[in-house]
Structure 1
């Protein structure tokens, strides 16, 4: 049996579908989200340790010598950051894989999710590094462009009065413009890692594929990005501040890390759902059903029935 359902792509629909998926396979996704725990713990604890570290390492008094083991401290921190980063990619890869399996009506298995990393782990690393490099060069290019405009203005006789107040407002405006540019690229590249997992594409191919899938539903992508970025940022700040105010309380550290971990899980699942809506919006699901998929479950209820989804944007 085949039925045609019309869905409206919006933030509420993506969040509702991702919530339903997590509830239906809670312990499976909870186990995979543990890969996010070191990152969540770092976001909660690191700000509370910073003043102590800065007092010993970044000292304004040049007569004070650096700690004798500061090189080992730096190496340890770099290794820790690298480990946390790689574990977060493992979480993203396995959760994306399992969410995709649920959405196409396939069973999920913890060992199978871990096994999927053998194919997606290095492409995920390479694609993420490429995206960060591109964002870095985009930022540098924008700042150089601003510098060229200022120099060109001076050559034409324009006078720039860079007192403290003017410089502060000028920096704020430039910073806001740069943030908006980076948000625009993040909005279009939000499905990149999901493409790596689901379609075995990586690098520029994954970035361009994500850009294509988001086309037509960018308002939803932007809403999702802002929703979780603001929410996650506030949650991380409140958690770290609470731990600091309670003198590194173990209870608040565990509680804050747990909520941040679950938030990262929700973000990854929502991106996978948005990926499927993007494919539906571009009419790709009908073809996949014809090629042998049992069903694409994007319905709002709990009935798992074969369907073709037609998506419209508001």
Structure 2
């Protein structure tokens, strides 16, 4: 793969090549980790809606399949809270396992190494907790940023109202208040771009002495590697975000269109859930692969990949009997920027 000015389609093409070369392997990982996530993303809103229905008979007819009591509205809300927490834990665990195993597989597939399912699953043991800690750190940083913007907006609103006497309902005041929200969205998008390689770094460099597998260091490492590739990282994020958004929103819209108390029982509802889940699974797979390929491109541009490839050649070199007495050959790896 050429690392000269890669773009979105170059990244996707290389991702497709790696996935196609190990199609059964990635199919197994997708079925184990990604398909349950995709299915739950599409079905969970329907379950929430049924839990919040005021008609007890409807809720009981559905929740009887999962042995959940729905005697009154308060009990249903408690059940919804428990179910939401359980879903969040389930989605987090399966997402981290998917990222760890797929990133490991794509990373080794990039070098042409044999990729085995057992090795990919075993890699989860080494990457799960570093990924979990990194995810928690990321959430803390994002939450701190949101809290900072919210507090700044609150103080600004109070200042404008008390000192300048602006009316809360005035169009000018409402328009002016939207500016901090736009700034927050742009800031979050910027962080998404410069932190695009964090999960790949945690999985691929956890044994490297130059990069910790947890804490703040992967974020600094990602911001360093992504220099010069911000537009590519942004295009990857927007492409997959838009595609996933279209699939999810269309599925929710179709589910709502079926309507009725027994809409979730119809074959049409089941069919669209199955088809959309499969497409969403494929999308998640290519997203994980694309981030890993982008990581390799960034390393090549920064001059880090050449040495690794040279070491890979040295590791694979086998001394033949007729090599004795001959001048050793020097293999050099040349890359362009």
Distance 1:97 1:279 in 2: 16
Aligned-pair distance for 1:293? Answer: 4.8
Q: Partner of 1:179 in structure 2?
A: 185
Q: Partner of 2:146 in structure 1?
A: 139
Distance 1:49 1:6 in 2: 46
Aligned-pair distance for 1:70? Answer: 4.1
Q: Partner of 1:24 in structure 2?
A: 21
Aligned-pair distance for 1:5? Answer: 5.6
Q: 1:46 aligns with which of 44, 49, 68?
A: 44
Distance 2:165 2:13 in 1: 55
Aligned residues of 2:194 and 2:222 also touching (Cα < 8 A): yes
Aligned-pair distance for 1:287? Answer: 2.0
Aligned residues of 1:89 and 1:121 also touching (Cα < 8 A): yes
Aligned-pair distance for 1:204? Answer: 0.7
Distance 1:168 1:30 in 2: 50
Aligned-pair distance for 1:90? Answer: 0.4
Correspondence list, 1:79-98, <5 A: 79-98=86-105
Q: Partner of 1:234 in structure 2?
A: 246
Distance 2:77 2:160 in 1: 46
Q: Partner of 1:258 in structure 2?
A: 278
Q: Partner of 1:160 in structure 2?
A: 166
Q: So what's the TM-score if we normalise by structure 1?
A: 0.84
Q: Partner of 2:304 in structure 1?
A: 284
Aligned-CA RMSD value: 2.6
Distance 1:238 1:25 in 2: 31
Aligned-pair distance for 1:111? Answer: 0.5
**Number of equivalences:** 292
Q: 1:207 aligns with which of 219, 225, 231?
A: 219
Distance 1:203 1:310 in 2: 33
Distance 2:187 2:29 in 1: 33
Aligned residues of 1:5 and 1:308 also touching (Cα < 8 A): no
Q: Partner of 1:269 in structure 2?
A: 289
Aligned-pair distance for 1:172? Answer: 4.1
Cα shift readout 1:120-141 (whole Å, capped 9, x = no counterpart): 0111111011101111111111
Q: Which runs of 5+ in 2 are unaligned?
A: 56-70, 207-212, 316-331
| Bigger Rg over Cα | 2
Bigger RCO of structures 1 and 2 (CA < 8 A, at least 6 apart): 1
Distance 2:183 2:153 in 1: 11
Q: So what's the TM-score if we normalise by structure 2?
A: 0.79
Distance 2:25 2:117 in 1: 7
- Which structure's residues are more often strand, by fraction? 1
Q: Measured at CA, do residues 307 and 30 of structure 1 come closer, stay the same or move farther in structure 2, by a change above 3 Å?
A: farther
